[in-house]
Chain A
Amino acid sequence: MLLLLLFAHVLFTSLWPLGELFATAFRPGEDGTPLGLMAQVLAARSTGRALANTLATSAGSVAISAALGVSLALAMGLARMRGQGVLTFLILMPVIIPSQTMALAWIELSGAGSPILGPLGLAPPQGRPNPLYSAEGIALVMGVEHMPLVFLATRAALRAVPGDLVEAARIAGVPRWRRLCSIVLPIAFPAVLASALLAFTAAVGNFGVPALLGIPGRITVLTTLIYQRLNGFGPSVAGQVAVLALLLTALAVAALALRTLLLRRLQVPLTAGRPIEPGPAPPWVAAAVWLVVALIALAPLAALAMTALLPAIGVPFSLATAGFEQFSQVLGNAGVRRAFANSLFLALAAAAGCMLVALPYAYLYVHRRNLLLRLLDPLIEAPWVVPGTVVALGMILAFLNPLPVLELSLYGTMAILLIAYLARFLPLVLRPVAASAQMGDPALDEAARIAGAGLGRRLRAVFAPSVLPSAIAGGILVLMTALNELTLSALLWSSGHETIGVMVFALQYEGNSTAAAAVSVLSTLLLLAICLFTALCARWLPKGALPWQH
C-alpha cells in the first residue's frame, strides 16, 4: 500500500513528465519520417551553435573550477590558518548564492562603472560592452560558482590520505613538493576528476549565468536556447525544444556515467589511519587564500550591494549618491512582495513535502528492498540529475493539457511550480535520510512489530525520530535551494505566481538593474539568515549535515 502510494507520487512528478518529454522528442517529422523531428532539429544551425557554446563554456568553467577548487582545498587541507571556519564558509559562498545573483554581482563588479574596480583604476574602459558578456565570461562565472563542488570533494579526499605515508616520505628525506606531487595528489586524483565531471554536469545545466551574461552577449547555450524558443514562440515549438532537452540530458548523463565508471576503476584501497596533520600555513599561502576568497566571494557581492544603493544606473557611487531608495521602492512594490511570499511558500512546501515523501521511502528502502523499489530509485534521482530546464519542459508537456478526470490544466497555476519543485528536490532529502536509515538498527523495528505496533505507528514512533535530524538537514537544504530557484520557475511561472528568481531576472531585463540588485541583496540576506539559523541549530543536526562545517 505504502509502496503503491509512493509509486503514484513518482509516476506523477517524475515518470510522466520526463516520459512525455522523450516521447515528444522521438516523434516523427511533419512528413511522417520516423525520428523526423529529431533529424530536423539536430540539423539546424542554431542547434549546432548552441551545442558548441555549451561544450566550450562548460569545459572552460570546469578548468577554472578544478584549478581553483584543488588549490584552495590543498591550502586549506594541508595548512592550518586562522579563521578556518569563516574561510570555508566564504569558499562555499559561490554555490550557496543563487546563480542569477552571482551573475548579476559579477556584472556589477566587472562593468565600466564598477564601484569596486573603478576607484582602483582597474575598471574596463567605457564605450565597450561588459567583458563578461562573452563565452569566456560565462565560463569564468560558472567556474567560480561550481568551484565548491571540486573543493569539497578534494578536501574529503585529502582527509583520506594516510598521514603515515607522508610522514614516512618526510623522514626518508623526500622534499615537500615531491611529497605533494607523488603521494598526495595521485591519491586525491580520482576524487578531483570525479568532481570535475560533476562540475561539468552542473555547467551544462546552468541557466542563471548564461541567461544574464549570454543573452546580452548573444552567446546562446542549450538551456537559454530552450528558454528563448519557448518564450518567444510558445508551446507550439515544444516538440523542437524537447529534442534540445534530450541533447542536454545526454550531455549531463554521459558525464555522470563517466564519473561512475572512473570512480569504480580508479578507486585505490587505502589503509585506514590518522589523516595528515596540517602544519602552520606559510604567510604567503594564507595571504593568497584570503586574496582569492576576497576576489571571488566578497568583491562581487560588495559590488552588488553598492549598486543596490544607487538611485539609477550609471550614477557613480559616492556617499552623496548612495541611499536606500531602491530598497524602499522594491519593498513597496506589491509584485516583489508577492514574489517573496510565493518563494517562501514554495520553498517551505517543497521542503515539507520532500520530507514527508522521503521518510516512508527510506523506511521501505531499508526494510523491504524489492524490485519495484529498485525501479523507483533512478526515477526519483532523475529530476535532480537532468538539467532543470529539462524538468520544466517535461512539466509543461505533461500538464499543459487538462488533467484527465479533473478536467483542469495545471499550467499557469502555482501547482505546476510546486510539483516541479517536489520532483526536483526530493533527492536532496532522500539521500541523507536513506543514509542515516541504513545506519539504524533493524532490530528496533522488529521489536516494535512483535510488540504489536502497526506500520503507521512504527513509522511515526520508531523510524521517524531516528532519522529526523537528517530529514531536517535535507529539508533545510531544499529550503535554501528552492528559495532562489530560477531555472524551473523561469519556464513555469505565471501571473501572480512569480518567484524571487524570476523577479530578479525580469527587473534586470526591464533595464532596472538597480532594483534587481536590491531584490538580490534582500534575498541573499534572507539566505544568510537561514544559514545562520541553521548554524545555531547545528548541534542537533547530524555531523556533516552542513557542508561548511567539519
Chain B
Amino acid sequence: MHPRLAPLAALLAVSAAMPVSAETLTVYTSQPQDQMTAVIEAFNKDHPDIQVELFRSGTTEVMAKLQAEYAAGGSPADVMLIADAVAMTQLKNDGRLYSYAEAKTDGIDPALIDADRTFFPTKLITTGIVYNTDLVKEAPKSWADLAAPEAAASTIMPSPLYSGAAVIHVGTMTQQPEFGWKYYETLAENGAVAGQGNGTVIEAVARGEKAYGVIIEYMALNAKAKGSPVDFVFPQEGVSVITQPVAILKDTDALEAAKTFVDWQLSRAAQEQSVEQGYFPVLEGVAPPAGYPDPKALKLLSADSGRMLAEDQENKEAFAELYGG
C-alpha cells in the first residue's frame, strides 16, 4: 500500500471495527465513574460474557448526546441509567423505550415502577442539606434555616440545567404550597448561587468555599466517610426523592444482555452493592447504609410527576432567570 493511504486505511479500519457485537452492552449513565466501575465489576462476576461500555455525564448532557446520535442515524446506547424519571418519561413518550413486561420486580414498591414497565427504580436518592463542619457551628435543621440571610449568602445548589436530581428537587419544592417559587426567590435575594451538577456542590462545600449546599445525600455522606469536613442533614420538612431509573432502549442490538443487566440491577446482589456505595435500596429487606435513617421513617415531599414533566421547560427557564444559565 502506498504510504499516503495508510492514514485513510487506518481510519477505515478503525471505523469498521466500531459496530458492536451482541455481547457488548453500552450503558449511558449519570452515575459517577468510580461507582460505575465497581458496578460493572460486580455485574461481570455474575455475567462474565457481557462486556459493558460506558458513557457518563450529567443527565441533561447524556440526553443531549442521545438526541445527537439519533439525529446521526442511531445510538450505540442499549441501556439508560439516569437520575430522573422526568427525562425517562420524555424518552418513553418519544417511543424510545422497550417495555420489559417480565422484569423481575418482586419486592419493589409498585408505586415506583412505570405503569408500562419501560423503566424501573434502582435506588432511592434524596436531596437534603450538606454543610462544612469547619465553618458551621450549629447544624441547619430545615429548608427554612437555609433561606435565612446569613445561611443563604453562603449556599450553593445544583442547577436543573445540568442535574437530573436537581430537576426533581426544584420541581418538587416548587410544588409545595409552603415553598413554591417564593422560596427560590428568597434564596436568590439572600445571595445563594447555583453551580452545575451535584459534584460542583460537594466540591465547593468540602473546600470551604461555601458553608452550605443543597445536595443528594450519598455524595455528602461518602465525602464525609472519606474524611472531608462535611456533614449532611435530612431537613425536617421532608426531602425530595429520585429513583435512578434503568431502562432498555427500543432499538438496542443487545436485547438479551440489556434484560440481564436490568434484572441484575434489581437483584439482591446489586442492591447490596449500591448500599455499600451509599444509596438507599429499593428492594424490600435490604438494610440502608450504616448511619442512614430507615427510609420508612423519612418524610418525603410529595410531588405530581405528570405536572413536573409538563412544567419541565418552564421550571428550567424560571430557575435560569433567578440563578443564571
A and B from one complex? yes
Which residues from chain A sit less than 8 Å from chain B, CB to CB? Answer: 2, 5-6, 9, 12, 46, 111-113, 126-130, 215-216, 218, 228, 230-236, 311-315, 321, 329, 332-336, 349, 352-353, 356-357, 359-360, 400-402, 408-415, 418-419, 422, 456, 494-496, 506-513, 515
B65: chain A residues at CB < 8 Å are: 234, 494
CA distance A449 to B111 in the complex (A): 83
Contact string against A for B residues 65-103, beta-carbon threshold 8 Å, 1 for contact and 0 otherwise:
101110111011100000000000000000000000000
B34: chain A residues at CB < 8 Å are: 329, 333, 512, 515
B8 and chain A: residue at smallest CB distance: A9
Contact string against A for B residues 23-56, beta-carbon threshold 8 Å, 1 for contact and 0 otherwise:
0001010001110110010000000000001111
Name B206's contact: one of A314, A321, A456, A510 (CB within 8 Å): A314
A508: chain B residues at CB < 8 Å are: 199
- Asked whether A314 lies within 8 Å of B7 as measured between CB atoms, the reply is no
CB distance from B218 to the nearest CB of A (A): 12
Q: How many residues of B contact A (CB 8 A)?
A: 70
Name B227's contact: one of A111, A315, A413 (CB within 8 Å): A315
A9: chain B residues at CB < 8 Å are: 4, 7-8
- Asked whether A511 lies within 8 Å of B207 as measured between CB atoms, the reply is no
- Asked whether B11 lies within 8 Å of A418 as measured between CB atoms, the reply is yes
A415: chain B residues at CB < 8 Å are: 11, 14-15, 18
- Asked whether A314 lies within 8 Å of B199 as measured between CB atoms, the reply is no
Tell whether A509 pairs with B206 under 8 Å between CB atoms, given A333-B33, A400-B71, A419-B11: no
B40 and chain A: residue at smallest CB distance: A334
CA distance A128 to B211 in the complex (A): 9
23 A-B pairs, CB-CB below 8 angstroms?
A9-B8, A126-B134, A127-B154, A129-B210, A216-B204, A231-B57, A234-B68, A311-B226, A311-B227, A313-B207, A313-B223, A333-B33, A335-B56, A349-B10, A408-B15, A409-B72, A410-B15, A411-B69, A413-B18, A414-B15, A506-B56, A510-B197, A511-B203
CB contacts under 8 Å to A, within B201-227, are 201-204, 206-211, 219, 223, 226-227
- Asked whether A412 lies within 8 Å of B69 as measured between CB atoms, the reply is yes
A321: chain B residues at CB < 8 Å are: 227
**Total A-B pairs, Cβ < 8 A:** 195
- Asked whether B207 lies within 8 Å of A414 as measured between CB atoms, the reply is no
Tell whether A218 pairs with B324 under 8 Å between CB atoms, given A111-B209, A232-B61, A415-B11: yes
Tell whether A357 pairs with B4 under 8 Å between CB atoms, given A130-B209, A231-B64, A418-B14: yes
CA distance A349 to B8 in the complex (A): 11
Tell whether A234 pairs with B67 under 8 Å between CB atoms, given A402-B73, A412-B76, A511-B201: yes
- Asked whether B73 lies within 8 Å of A409 as measured between CB atoms, the reply is yes
B58: chain A residues at CB < 8 Å are: 509
B69: chain A residues at CB < 8 Å are: 411-412
Q: Does B229 contact A (CB under 8 A)?
A: yes
Name A113's contact: one of B26, B202, B207 (CB within 8 Å): B207
A314: chain B residues at CB < 8 Å are: 132, 206-208, 223, 228-230
- Asked whether A495 lies within 8 Å of B72 as measured between CB atoms, the reply is no
CB distance from A292 to the nearest CB of B (A): 27
Q: Does B198 contact A (CB under 8 A)?
A: yes
CB distance from B258 to the nearest CB of A (A): 15
B226: chain A residues at CB < 8 Å are: 311-312, 315
CA distance A314 to B54 in the complex (A): 29
- Asked whether B26 lies within 8 Å of A312 as measured between CB atoms, the reply is no
A401 and chain B: residue at smallest CB distance: B72
Name A360's contact: one of B4, B64, B77, B199 (CB within 8 Å): B4
CA distance A495 to B52 in the complex (A): 10
A332: chain B residues at CB < 8 Å are: 37
Known: A400-B72, A414-B14. 7 other contacts (CB 8 A): A112-B208, A232-B60, A311-B227, A315-B228, A353-B7, A357-B4, A409-B73
- Asked whether A509 lies within 8 Å of B200 as measured between CB atoms, the reply is yes
- Asked whether B61 lies within 8 Å of A495 as measured between CB atoms, the reply is no
- Asked whether B76 lies within 8 Å of A112 as measured between CB atoms, the reply is no
Name A513's contact: one of B7, B57, B72, B203 (CB within 8 Å): B203
Q: Does B5 contact A (CB under 8 A)?
A: yes
B3: chain A residues at CB < 8 Å are: 356, 359-360
A334: chain B residues at CB < 8 Å are: 37, 40
Name B33's contact: one of A126, A419, A510 (CB within 8 Å): A510
Name A495's contact: one of B32, B76, B161 (CB within 8 Å): B76
- Asked whether B33 lies within 8 Å of A512 as measured between CB atoms, the reply is yes
Q: Does B325 contact A (CB under 8 A)?
A: yes
B28 and chain A: residue at smallest CB distance: A495
B5 and chain A: residue at smallest CB distance: A5
A345 and chain B: residue at smallest CB distance: B14
B58 and chain A: residue at smallest CB distance: A509
At the interface, is chain B mostly helix, strand, loop or mixed? mixed
Tell whether A509 pairs with B196 under 8 Å between CB atoms, given A112-B207, A233-B64: yes
B206: chain A residues at CB < 8 Å are: 312-314
A6 and chain B: residue at smallest CB distance: B4
Tell whether A411 pairs with B72 under 8 Å between CB atoms, given A216-B200, A313-B202, A510-B199: yes
Q: Does B296 contact A (CB under 8 A)?
A: no
CA distance A418 to B10 in the complex (A): 10
Name B135's contact: one of A127, A232, A329, A506 (CB within 8 Å): A127
B10: chain A residues at CB < 8 Å are: 349, 353, 418
A5: chain B residues at CB < 8 Å are: 2, 4-5
CB distance from A469 to the nearest CB of B (A): 18
B73: chain A residues at CB < 8 Å are: 401-402, 409
CB distance from B60 to the nearest CB of A (A): 6
- List 5 A-B pairs, minimum CB-CB distance, nearest first: A511-B199, A495-B55, A312-B226, A314-B206, A353-B7
Name A129's contact: one of B134, B204, B227 (CB within 8 Å): B204
CA distance A9 to B6 in the complex (A): 11
B128: chain A residues at CB < 8 Å are: none
Q: Does B171 contact A (CB under 8 A)?
A: no
CB distance from A50 to the nearest CB of B (A): 11
CA distance A111 to B203 in the complex (A): 11
- Asked whether B199 lies within 8 Å of A235 as measured between CB atoms, the reply is no
Q: Does B164 contact A (CB under 8 A)?
A: no
Q: Does B278 contact A (CB under 8 A)?
A: no
- Asked whether B18 lies within 8 Å of A313 as measured between CB atoms, the reply is no
Name A234's contact: one of B4, B11, B64, B324 (CB within 8 Å): B64
CA distance A130 to B204 in the complex (A): 9
Tell whether A127 pairs with B33 under 8 Å between CB atoms, given A235-B68, A411-B72: no
CA distance A46 to B5 in the complex (A): 44
B204: chain A residues at CB < 8 Å are: 129, 216
CA distance A361 to B147 in the complex (A): 66
CB distance from B264 to the nearest CB of A (A): 18
CB distance from A18 to the nearest CB of B (A): 18
A515: chain B residues at CB < 8 Å are: 34
Q: Does B195 contact A (CB under 8 A)?
A: yes
Contact string against A for B residues 222-252, beta-carbon threshold 8 Å, 1 for contact and 0 otherwise:
0100111110000000000000000000000
Tell whether A113 pairs with B33 under 8 Å between CB atoms, given A506-B57, A511-B201: no
B195 and chain A: residue at smallest CB distance: A216
B52 and chain A: residue at smallest CB distance: A334
CA distance A409 to B18 in the complex (A): 10
B219: chain A residues at CB < 8 Å are: 511
CA distance A174 to B160 in the complex (A): 67
A513: chain B residues at CB < 8 Å are: 203
B325: chain A residues at CB < 8 Å are: 46, 228
A311: chain B residues at CB < 8 Å are: 226-227
A335: chain B residues at CB < 8 Å are: 33, 36-37, 54, 56
Contact string against A for B residues 168-196, beta-carbon threshold 8 Å, 1 for contact and 0 otherwise:
00000000000000000000000000011
CB distance from B204 to the nearest CB of A (A): 7
CA distance A293 to B15 in the complex (A): 45
CA distance A353 to B9 in the complex (A): 11
